[in-house]
Structure 1
Amino acid sequence: MSEDEKSPAREVISNYAQAHFRYFRTADGTVYAQRNGHPVARPIRSQGTTGSHRQELMVGLFRDGYGVFNGTALKEALDLIEALAITEQVQPVHIRVAPGFDGATWLDLGRNDGQSVRIHPTGWDILTPDPQEVCWRRTQLTGELPLPVKDTDGKGIDLLMRLCNFANAQTESLAIAWLIGCLGPSVPVPAPFLTGPQGAGKSTGARMLLRIIEGMTSDLRRAPKDEENLIAAVAAGWVTALDNLSHLGPDLSDLMCCIVTGAETIKRALFTDGDVVRSRYRKPLLLTGIDVGVIRPDLAERLLPLRLERPRVRRTEAELWAEFEEILPVILGSLLDLTVKVRAAQAQIPTDLRMADFAHLCAQLDTATGFGALDAYRASLDDLNDDVIEGDVLAQTVLDHAAGIEPGADVRMTSSEWLHCLTQLYTREGLRPAPKGWPTTGKVLSDRLKRLQPVLAARGVVIDWGRTKTARYIEMARPPQPSPGEQGGMF
């Protein structure tokens, strides 16, 4: 064959690529490559250690007898493929869990053969998903899960609870509800906060919960020092587990709220002036610690306290983890069995809780098992409200003032008048100084009260804002107590 009849290397590569791979883009414009018939997709520009599409092409071309191509030819071919893929249909990629067709969801087992678990209210099966239905994205944080065992009759849940040191059955039910919630891609779940005395096995218990979802290679990590690193860690996995927290500053607290319920960050793309990179995230979060100090009210509504107790009998790490790894297929199978039952259960949606989706899941779990998870969830939130109030002198002062308001009555004042009133109450008419962090202006007081509003409402004090023709006001009221017949409610 003459030189003129030979196809340029970039054409050979691009023709081979389009014959063996499917190319598509995500909503943010990133182009992915997916081998025909395989559910795992890789960004074509990735140079990651989990394997890049460039490496896939090089290996495929070599093994199929096309030879070895230089970097220039590969770059030109990938540039062309990326340009062509911009016009292709938009499809999302998912890490670990994904929505499927017909009300099903999928769990990525992290296997090279692409086998995954399809979870449906009628049952679960181990299958290889259709690439048009599910596209998995893999990172270094995507560990491999064992093939779950069928028909365990709940044995795995019992085995798990024997290894963990949860304080009581109510705490165990909340841990199970959280694990079930982690298998749903569209349900925001509160962040479990494993707490207890030293030696209670908080880190070990957190690792067990984490490894049920993320595999034996996953582990806890220290909280990053800045927002960018934490967001990068969240984006690369499904469950983010932070160990041994001792302090939650305002910035970290706000960021955790965003991780639990969802948010988006935008930053400038590298080597550009006007282009940006969007990063959306809503992932399960797992925390451990003995005491993190004052908890802000908005984070308290997104936490799930799980208390542990010191075990009476100690075991070696090697013995404990060898047993856990051995029973993990049974634990995962039992969790999937229970998930199917919970999703098939019918229950009313509680409308009085911030995390309504998780509260509904607890109600479904109670219907399926009778665990009492919803009552336990309400009790845990009540305890967190107490923690917030105990750590906030302004909240305590407001409750002291509200105790003098008759049920059904209300008091209206401007923010400045409220500041003077509450300051006089706390300082006992100037006999002691105001504490550090006490509001200094009416505007600061109004903002603090907005944060405390849900906590105070849980204690029967309603704060509201309004305006007359001449000024704005803050209203403090104590609603009348419901009669005994009304207290039964819907739940």
Structure 2
Amino acid sequence: MSDDDKTPARDVIAGYAQEHFRYFRTADGTVYAQRNGHPVARPIRSQGTSGSHRQELMVGLFHDGYGVFNGTALKEALDLIEALALSQDVQPVHIRVAPGFDGATWLDLGRADGQSVRIHPTGWDIRTPDPAEVCWRRTQLTGELPMPVKDTDGKGIDLLLRLCNFANAETECLAIAWLIGCLGPSVPVPAPFLTGPQGAGKSTGGRMLVRIIEGMSGDLRRAPKDEENLIAAVAAGWVTALDNLSHLAPDLSDAMCCIVTGAETVKRALYTDGDVVRARYRRPLLLTGIDVGVIRPDLAERLLPLRLERPSVRRTEAELWAEYAQALPVILGSLLDLTVKVRAAEADIPTDLRMADFAHLCAQLDAATGFGALAAYRASLDDLNDDVIEGDLLAQTVLKHAAGIAPGAEERMTSAEWLHALTGLYSGEDCRPLPKGWPTTGKVLSDRLKRLQPTLAARGVLIDWGRTKAARYIEMARPPAPPPAHEQKPAF
């Protein structure tokens, strides 16, 4: 055969690729390859150590007798495939948890054969998802989960609670509610903060909770030094667990708020002048530490304190983790059983809490089991409000001033007048020095009060802003006291 009759290498590769793989793009324009009938997708431009499509293509061509091709031919073929795929329909890819058809959700077990858990209103089962329904994206952080055990009768939940050193039943039911929330792709869940004395097993308990969702390779990590590295770590896995926190800088606190409730970052694409890369993320977050110092009010509304206590009997790491690994299939099976039961339960949606979806999940858990998770969640938020107030001298001074306002009354002043009044109240007759961070202008005071507004409202002090023809004002009020029980009108 003459050279003119030979099929160019790029055409051979492109033909093989289109025969054995499905190509599609995501909303951000990234092109993915998915082997026919298999739910795992890989970006065709990835050079990652978790396995790239280029490597997958080279191995397939070699095993099927097409030989070995040089890099130029592979590049030309992939350029053509990428251009053709950009005209295909948009489909999202998911890490670990994904929505499915007919109200179902999926949990990726991280197996090579693609088998996953389908959780639907009538139960759960193991199957390989249709690529048109779910496309999994895997990274080095995607560990393999064991096959969950069916019909455990709740045994796995008891095993988990026995292995962890939770301080009380309220903490236990909140931990279970958080795990159920992690199996929902569209439900933002607050970040559990495992706290307790030294030796309470906070890191060990955090690893146990994370590994139920991420497999035995899931682990805790130190908080990254900058937001960019934190976002990269968050985007590569499902549950992000930060260990041994002792201080929360304002930037890290704001980043955690975004991780819990969702946000998007945009940055310039590498080796380009005008193109950008978008990254959307909302992930379950877990924290451990003895004390993180002052908690900002916006983060406090997104935290879930879980207190642990020191165990009375110590065990070796090898013994503890061997028992956990043996129990993990039963624990996962029991969690899936409970998730199905909770999702089928009917409950009203609490409308007075910031994380309303999680509050509704707690109410469903109560309806299904009678645990009292919603009351425990409200109590935990109340404790966090106390932590915010104890760490903020301005909040304490505002509450002290508000104590002199009669219930049902209000007080209006400009921000500068409020600054003068609160500063004088704090300094007192002995004119004690103002603490570091005390507002220095009316504008700074107004901004601080906006952050503290939900915390103060939980303590019966309402802050509002308005304007008259003369100037802007800040209003402080206390709601009227409720009438005595015998004077209240019946609700019907």
TM-score, structure 1 as length reference:
0.98
Aligned to 2:461: 461
Percent pairwise identity = 88
Does the aligned pair in 2 maintain the 1:114–1:128 contact within 8 Å? yes
Cα gap change, 1:89 to 1:325, in 2 (>3 Å): same
Mapped partners of 2:431, 2:392: distance in 1: 20
Aligned to 1:136: 136
Does the aligned pair in 2 maintain the 1:424–1:430 contact within 8 Å? no
Mapped partners of 2:459, 2:83: distance in 1: 59
Q: What are the Cα deviations for residues 347-387 of structure 1, in whole angstroms up to 9, with x where unaligned?
A: 00000000000000000000000000000000000000000
Does the aligned pair in 2 maintain the 1:121–1:344 contact within 8 Å? yes
Aligned to 1:164: 164
Amino acid in the other structure paired with 2:441: T
Aligned to 2:122: 122
Aligned to 1:285: 285
Cα gap change, 1:489 to 1:164, in 2 (>3 Å): farther
Mapped partners of 2:481, 2:94: distance in 1: 48
Aligned to 1:336: 336
Mapped partners of 1:181, 1:356: distance in 2: 12
1:188 partner SS:
coil
Mapped partners of 1:420, 1:430: distance in 2: 16
Aligned to 1:294: 294
Q: What are the Cα deviations for residues 222-260 of structure 1, in whole angstroms up to 9, with x where unaligned?
A: 000011110000000000000000000100000000000
Is 1:358 the counterpart of 2:362? The answer is: no
Aligned to 1:239: 239
1:463 partner SS:
strand
Mapped partners of 1:50, 1:406: distance in 2: 64
> What stretches of structure 1 move > 2 A for 4+ residues in a row?
481-490
Q: What are the Cα deviations for residues 299-356 of structure 1, in whole angstroms up to 9, with x where unaligned?
A: 0000000000000000000000000000100000000000000000010000000000
Amino acid in the other structure paired with 1:476: M
Instruction: Structure 2 unaligned segments of length 5 or more: list them.
Output: none
Cα gap change, 1:70 to 1:181, in 2 (>3 Å): same
Mapped partners of 1:489, 1:332: distance in 2: 46
Aligned to 1:405: 405
Mapped partners of 1:473, 1:433: distance in 2: 27
Q: 1:431 Cα deviation (Å)?
A: 2.2
1:102 partner SS:
helix
Instruction: Structure 1 unaligned segments of length 5 or more: list them.
Output: none
Mapped partners of 2:290, 2:85: distance in 1: 50
Q: 1:54 Cα deviation (Å)?
A: 0.4
Aligned to 2:109: 109
2:212 partner SS:
helix
Aligned to 1:10: 10
Mapped partners of 2:388, 2:27: distance in 1: 40
Q: What are the Cα deviations for residues 98-139 of structure 1, in whole angstroms up to 9, with x where unaligned?
A: 000000000000000000000012100001000000000000
Aligned to 1:220: 220
Alignment of 1:296-445 (within 5 A): 296-429=296-429, 431-445=431-445
1:106 partner SS:
strand
Amino acid in the other structure paired with 2:234: V
Is 1:19 the counterpart of 2:12? The answer is: no
Amino acid in the other structure paired with 1:251: D
Mapped partners of 1:128, 1:148: distance in 2: 15
Mapped partners of 1:285, 1:425: distance in 2: 40
Q: CA RMSD in A?
A: 1.3
Cα gap change, 1:257 to 1:443, in 2 (>3 Å): same
Mapped partners of 1:218, 1:244: distance in 2: 16
Q: 1:439 Cα deviation (Å)?
A: 0.3
Mapped partners of 2:162, 2:44: distance in 1: 45
TM-score, structure 2 as length reference:
0.98
Cα gap change, 1:487 to 1:434, in 2 (>3 Å): farther
Mapped partners of 1:487, 1:248: distance in 2: 45
Is 1:474 the counterpart of 2:449? The answer is: no
Q: 1:483 Cα deviation (Å)?
A: 3.5
Mapped partners of 2:221, 2:437: distance in 1: 32
Q: 1:429 Cα deviation (Å)?
A: 4.0
Q: 1:488 Cα deviation (Å)?
A: 12
Amino acid in the other structure paired with 1:82: E
